[in-house]
Amino acid sequence: MLTLALAKGRILQEATPLLRRAGIVPEEDPETTRRLIIATSVADLRVVVVRATDVATYVQYGAAELGVAGKDVLLEHGGAGLYQPVELGIGRCRLCVAVPDGFDYAGAVRRGARLRVATKYVQTAREFFAGKGVHVDLIKLYGSMELAPLAGLADAIVDLVSTGGTLRANRLVEVEQITEISSRLIVNQAAYKLRQPRLSELIQAISEAVLAPGPSPTGVAEGSSSSPPLSAERSQAVPPLSRARERGRG
């Protein structure tokens, strides 16, 4: 049995039709069921529902062989023990620095002022500001990031931004973009080495669903006559898996 780790929310909503095109359909709605382990239309694949920030950890330690995680989670996690074979093109947004409207961020940076920055992306923020030579005190928060500057807790925040509506509603402005964010399929390195043929089939099916979206699933049922296992030649055609550690800005 193989396990795919998913998180509730936007990523799950956007991943569901993509997985359906790959022939992977949970037998219960992960958004509404109380079950945390859900069977799928693929006999040897189940889904586990975890927190978004925990997906990479479940895959790293082998509790799940595969997962769908945002680049923000992977940057913060560090990518140990993971491959990233497929860019899924879902969950697109950006990781940005935002400050209260009227705050002279550029001037503060030029003066070498020490800024208080609230974020849940502490590792990523630390590396970003260190690379710019900006002195910061990082304040770890887990939610309602926009409240921190309004309440006087922080001078700035580092958070995900999609449309910018929440920032505008709280009189915050985006001043720097750290990186573009999207979601990737991640795979446990050890599991891939041990179960490469079957995992390659699943990776290939999901990759094809990304490249050629459509209403009809490709089918990944193990041994199914309507969807025969990939030949050895086709399995080898799966692009080499890249390591999950990525620190680029986009």
| Domains in the chain: boundaries | 2-92+182-236, 93-180
Residue 128: predicted pLDDT:
97
Residue ranges of the chain with pLDDT lower than 50? 215-219, 221-250
Residue 31: predicted pLDDT:
87
Please determine whether the domains at 2-92+182-236 and 93-180 fall in the same fold group of CATH.
yes
**What are the residues whose beta carbons fall under 8 Å from the beta carbon of 211, sequence distance 6 or more?**
none
| Exposure string over 108-120, b if 16+ CB within 10 A, otherwise e | bbeeeeebbbbbb
pTM score of the predicted model: 0.81
Tens digits of per-residue pLDDT, 173-221?
A: 999 999 999 999 999 999 999 999 999 999 999 999 998 755 444 445 4
Tens digits of per-residue pLDDT, 86-104?
A: 999 999 999 999 999 999 9
**What are the residues whose beta carbons fall under 8 Å from the beta carbon of 145, sequence distance 6 or more?**
118, 119, 120, 157, 159
CATH architecture of 2-92+182-236: 3-Layer(aba) Sandwich (3.40)
CATH architecture of 93-180: 3-Layer(aba) Sandwich (3.40)
